[in-house]
Chains A and B, each alone.
Chain A
Amino acid sequence: MAQKLVVIGAGMASGRVLEHLFEDAPGMYDVTLFNGEARGNYNRIMLSPVLSGEKTYEEIVTHDDPWYATHNVVCRFGEQITGIDRDRKVVISASGETPYDKLLIATGSAPFIIPVQGKELPGVITYRDLDDTNAMIAASAKPGAKAVVIGGGLLGLEAAAGMKARGMEVTVIHLMGHLMERQLDPAAGYLLEKDLERRGIKVHCKGSTAAILGDGKVEAVLLEDNTTYPADLVVMAVGIRPETRLATDAHLEIGRGIVVNDQMVTSDPDILAVGECVEHKGQLFGLVAPLYDQAKVVAKTLQAEPSAFQPVQTATKLKVTGVDLYSAGDFAEGEGREEIVYRDASAGIYKRLVIKDDKIIGAVMYGDTVDGPWFFQKIKSGEDISEGRETLIFGPNFAGGAASDPFSAVAALPDDAEICGCNGISKGMIVKAIQNGAKSLADVQAVTKASTSCGTCLGLTTQLTALTLGDDFVLPGVAGMCKCTDHTHDDVRRLIRAKSLKSIPAIMQELEWKTSGGCHSCRPALNYYLVCEWPGEYIDHAQSRFINERVHANIQKDGTYSVVPRMWGGLTSPTELRAIADVADKFNIPTVKVTGGQRIDLLGVKKDDLPAVWADLNDAGMVSGHAYAKGLRTVKTCVGTDWCRFGTQDSTGLGVRIEKAMWGAWTPHKVKMAVSGCPRNCAEATCKDVGVICVDSGFEIGVGGAAGMDLKKIETIAKVETEDEALDIIIAFVQLYREGAQYLHRPYKWIAKVGLDHVIAKVVDDKENRAALVERFNYSQTFYQVDPWAERVRGLDAHEFAPLMDLTQVAAE
């Protein structure tokens, strides 16, 4: 007969215990699972992506109701255990007593609440479970909502980044001198702080919380140094302590946590404990990897098989999108310790190895962490690194000099190198899984669970799978353009060229699209790639364009449209302004607004009226401003030498020249430019896709700025003496971007992928290539530099603007 196993707490550790148990010994135990939270097991370390909106709760559920049902687990979710009677071997809850043969305590940890005044105010929360996450998401709904996170450790920063991504104003208060002091040294902590501040998160280090202020609900946080931060929500993430109350009441041996031996058994032989609530040889555990190791041991012990828990070193990564950070081992300074440090301040890269007795004992990496597992491996193996020490910091690729091959780093790893820290999966285990028949990334994930917890090793796992499978490897669907194909954007572009594919149906046929007609995500991308690749040959497919590019106006929330006529370099005239005023009157246009790109927006135009509005604007000499297009938007200028006493060049004139040369061109995403007449930069050129700063001696051309979701300064690619050369370089840059970038990637994203050096080499250094790019752009312009408004005034695409039938009169009779 099956024995009775009662589990208190449905978390990641106990969930893993049950998985092992049901796999190794199905039917051995009848399991009853209690959980204080009114839900089953989900992947807690993925709460951060849920908070930032990158994942949904459903996506992080690890055990759903059918799983529990399949394994006959009696689920008592939302029911608190109030006591354990060890003599009678029963647990006590609100609905009575439940007997056990074996009891597993997995009560996890409780967040530490700092004992300050106001800590009980509504709006003060911790960050442990889905309810906390939902509270943060709910708070972010209020426009301009402010959050203060107390604690700049792993959890606090993930909460801060998530709430920032939700649009909140976030301040992090941290007691220590630098962020994440348990994982990072001061230099890396500083880089992290700067990175977070660039993302708009305010960081206050050495900040000690004095009180939380508020009347009936939280309103502000007061620090000891008398700084006050207003807050609609306060998240306390200062640390955790093992949840031991039940074990204490049951008189089990308690230290800081519930004391267990190597077999994970407590001082009562029939009671085991696992997870963040345990203390093993004086050590507590907060990261998931050792908990999973414990779970394996618990499952073995429950089957009366020998097994012993041995804590291993763990490495840490921060799950904040766009922040690359890796730390492992011991990196404090000390007697007999040496270090190797690599810094590249402009690229934001910092790597530091701590060495003792010719062995690496610690590694901290920021900005570029690909080699992290390689170093971690050397820490664990205790390998002598005196040979090759000079080049050690450059990682495994240095000797081969083939860093461009993404697989070489993975190929260089030894078999016992750790790939997935969360699940303790080494390279050898993945290779073995493939030798045993795993045929895809999904198979490898199913068998080994590698990359399925925090997900930061997905790239490595994918590369290793690809490397091991060789030609049999098929990139998984997630990496494809969309659900319709497994091909990536880059592959599709290459194949369009290589196979001379000249229509959307041809692409879908040849590249084996999985859906019959694509979707709203891939069709606009394909249409753009064809427009770019085959100017003059490809017939634009209007129905694969988003509505704005089909009707040459911007759809608004109420289904009306906005109309923006072009104003070259921001210049206009009384005649144009009169025409705009007349149009606004004639068509009852409710809102007239000046845009950030130095032109005028007419908002609230009815779709049926668009051609007539355009006709009047055309009559006054105005054309479409393409304010709706993935194409050249505006070239913003200042008045330069025409009027300004500081102007060094004719910035207005150059802006007009650029705009006249480039309007009408389709690009992967919108392109905004500016020309400033002097370094005072009144045209704000330094945050544009292309920005020119005029100086006495000529023109500085910068690219890759951004002032949207990301904020980025342009990087200078050239300084030239003449307007002609400036124009050529700008055109060549845009053409290189048009030909190379993925659809919906702004230039800065594309540059991050191909590297600024590539851009400079192709556009600036190689003059022949520059000329060829300019020629291809200009050829394309002969087909696309046509005013779409005038074409439609003449009757093109009339079906877009007129109803099929108007029954309003009929119905009225």
Chain B
Amino acid sequence: MSMFLEIGRIEDIPRQAARLVKTDMGCIAIFRTFDDKIFALDDKCPHKGGPISNGIQHGDMVTCPLHNWVFDLNTGQAQGADSGVIRTYPVEVREGVILIARSSLDQAVAAE
């Protein structure tokens, strides 16, 4: 079995949008930035649990739709005066296919 799981193609996600990968442990938000970088983070703001996949993206940042906390997609770290961190997952894009590491998914399961 490959170490990576295909979860979709890059063009399945519009630029500056995000879509979800649903798991039994919750949703992972897959973000595509304006310059076609792909990031994967838990779809859950550490503040009040807002679905960050629904936020507005700007640069490598996303703003949570509930109370405007801003997170760096690279690190999951809250910006400015807010503090909190969202778990990130390693993802890769090969020939337009988005891949997520199986191990990190297993960890997501194991961690619970």
Contact = CB atoms under 8 A, between A and B. Distances in A.
A661 B51 CA distance: 36
A803 B22 contact: yes
A547 interface: yes
A805 B8 contact: yes
A806 B17 contact: no
Given A517-B34, A555-B66, A557-B48, A803 B56 contact: no
Contacts of A559: 49-51, 54
Contacts of B107: none
A229 interface: no
A341 to B, nearest CB: 47
B18 to A, nearest CB: 9
A812 interface: yes
A514 to B, nearest CB: 12
Nearest to B65: A547
B20 A543 contact: no
A800 to B, nearest CB: 8
Contacts of B68: 520
A799 B13 contact: yes
A803 to B, nearest CB: 4
A479 B21 CA distance: 41
A559 B109 CA distance: 22
Interface in A545-574: 545-547, 550-551, 555, 557-559
A799 B63 CA distance: 19
Interface in A641-686: none
A520 B23 contact: no
Given A515-B58, A811-B109, A805 B24 contact: no
B56 to A, nearest CB: 4
A811 B25 contact: yes
B70 to A, nearest CB: 7
Interface in A522-550: 523-524, 542-547, 550
B58 A557 contact: no
A812 B16 CA distance: 31
B105 to A, nearest CB: 7
Q: Which one of A544, A555, A804 has the highest number of Cβ atoms from chain B below 10 Å of its Cβ?
A: A804
A345 interface: no
Contacts of B70: 520
A455 B107 CA distance: 53
Contact of B7 (A524, A544, A551, A804): A804
A520 B66 contact: no
A808 B23 contact: yes
A292 to B, nearest CB: 30
B12 interface: yes
B76 interface: no
A515 B59 contact: yes
Given A546-B65, A557-B48, A804-B19, A799 B55 contact: no
A346 interface: no
A543 B19 contact: no
B37 to A, nearest CB: 12
Leading 6 A-B pairs by shortest Cβ distance: A520-B63, A543-B16, A804-B19, A547-B54, A520-B56, A803-B20
Interface of A: 56, 515-520, 523-524, 542-547, 550-551, 555, 557-559, 799-800, 802-808, 811-812
Given A517-B34, A555-B51, A557-B66, 12 more contacts: A515-B59, A519-B58, A520-B58, A524-B56, A542-B14, A547-B55, A799-B12, A804-B21, A806-B21, A807-B22, A808-B24, A811-B25
